[in-house]
Structure formats: C-alpha cells, structure tokens
Structure 1
Amino acid sequence: MYTVIHACGRQHKVVNGKKLYLERMAHDKGARVEFPGVSFVESEDGSVKIKKSTVIAVVLDEIRSDKVIVFKKQRRHNHRRKKGHRQIKLPVLIEQVVVCDGAA
C-alpha cells in the first residue's frame, strides 16, 4: 500500500518509513506535520481501492543542497557574472499513514 500526498506544490508517492525531501516550510526540527493524501489499497483479488488518508511526518532538520553555479558571459564585451545558489530543503520522515474507511 502506498499513498500520494500533495505537499509544497508537488505530488509525492510515500510509504511508511520513507525519507522525503520537501521545499522549505515553517516548521522546527522534530515537529510533526500532517498531510492529507489518497491511498491506493490493493485487495486479495487484485482490485485496487482508493481511500482517503492522512500522513504523519516528522521534520528531521533543515539542510542546504549542493551549490549550483550560474555563469553568464557576453563574448567580446568583457562582461562576466558568476553567482552561486544553494536551495534549502526540509527532510521529513514518514512516520505513519492513517487510512480512512470512506471512499475518496
């Protein structure tokens, strides 16, 4: 069973115990965050049922990704610009997926 959540403008496929890197959000380290989601539950006969779910995740820390160098140059004009950028990411650990009984 897996769940699809909508977080930070993107959809993510998650299961229990998965580590996920999201965009920066206003949460402290160790905070619990809830995301609404849709679960796909496969029954014994092979059919798939769609159910509403809630995903509980724990914020691990705030990290910065590798530096990306942006270099612009206009030839024959002695014009060069070099910039660096490090995107801030929020790693979260999927702690629990709670599946509701009602259909989505």
Structure 2
Amino acid sequence: MFAVLRTGGKQYRVAAGDKIAVEKLAGEAGDKITLGEVLLAGDGGEVKDAAGVVVSAEIIAQAKSEKVIVFKKRRRHNYRRKNGHRQQMTLLRILSVGGEEKKAAAKKDAAPKSDEASQAAAAPEAAPKKAPAKKAPAKTKTDAE
C-alpha cells in the first residue's frame, strides 16, 4: 500500500520501508511520529479514500542537507558576494501506511480520575459574583441651581 502525504510544503509518495528526507520535524533520533496529512492512498493500481489513513514513521536522524552556494555579482562594479547555506532536514523511515489512527492514545489520556478529583474538576467552587458599583448620574446645570 502507498500513500501521498504532505509535509514541509512538499508532497511525497511513500510505502512501508521507504526512507525519505523531509523538512525539519520536532523529535530526536529513534522517536516514532505519525504523519497525518495524507492526500491520497492506494494499493497497487487502485486508488482508495485517504480519509482515516495514517502514515507512521521513525526518525532516523536530524541532519543538514547538501550545501547550496549563493553567489551574487554585479558586473563592472567590483561587487561579489559568496555565501553558503545548509538546510535542516529530518531523515524518516516509513514504518506503516494505512489503518486508522490508534484510539489507544486517546484512551490513555482519558484515564479514570479519583472521585474527589473528578467532582472538583466537574463542579469548581462558585465564588459569589459582586454586582458592579453603580455610578451616580453626573450633575447638570439644572441640578446645581
């Protein structure tokens, strides 16, 4: 099964076992991440609906890409500037393509709370609200006379 996903402003066609270099993503080597923005999914020659398809990957390394040389020159003005740039990138190994997002993570976050904690969270103590003080109407010339 393959998927077309978008990350870092670019699109990649990936399958399980592929290695790709993408724009820098948060995480360290060995971390597992899910790439959720899947545009298209398919199996062989047939195209499937990409809704609910998740691509899971492992970060191999955080690295820099090849050096790009930036050279500026204005002829007959003795103006030359040479600069180099190495873009940050993340190397990924695609572990699996397909399947719905695992709901186990959602269940883990919604662990049962103790009775006291759940009551405190559900009904926080309501402090009595004070009514704002009313201002006396400003005196006009007729009131002063």
Q: TM-score, normalized by length of structure 2?
A: 0.60
Kindly indicate which of the two structures has a greater share of residues assigned to helix. 2
Task: Give the letter aligned to residue 50 of structure 1.
Answer: D
RCO higher in structure (CA 8 A, sep ≥6): 1
Residue 4 of structure 1 is matched in structure 2 by: 4
Shift of 1:48: 4.0
Q: CA RMSD in A?
A: 1.8
Cα distance in 2 for residues equivalent to 1:47 and 1:69: 42
Where does residue 50 of structure 1 map in the other structure? 49
Gaps of 5+ in 1: none
**Are 1:74 and 2:84 counterparts?**
no
AA aligned opposite 1:75: R
- Distance in 2 (CA, whole Å) between partners of 1:65 and 1:47 is 35
More strand by percentage:
1
The letter of the residue matching 1:67 is K
* Pair 1:39–1:99, CA change in 2 (3 A): farther
Q: Any idea what the Cα deviations from partners look like across 1:43-88, whole Å, max 9, x if unmatched? A: xxx7543243111100010111221111111111111111011111
What residue is the counterpart of 1:40 in the other structure? 42
For residue 12 of structure 1, what is the amino acid of its counterpart?
Answer: Y
- Where do residues 88-103 of structure 1 align in structure 2 (5 Å cutoff)? 88-100=88-100
Match of 1:65 in 2: 65
Identity of aligned residues (%): 37
1-structure distance, mates of 2:74, 2:41: 51
Offset, 1:25? 1.5
**Contact conserved, 2:30 with 2:58, CA < 8 A, in 1?**
yes
Indicate conservation of the 8 Å contact 2:41/2:47, yes or no: no
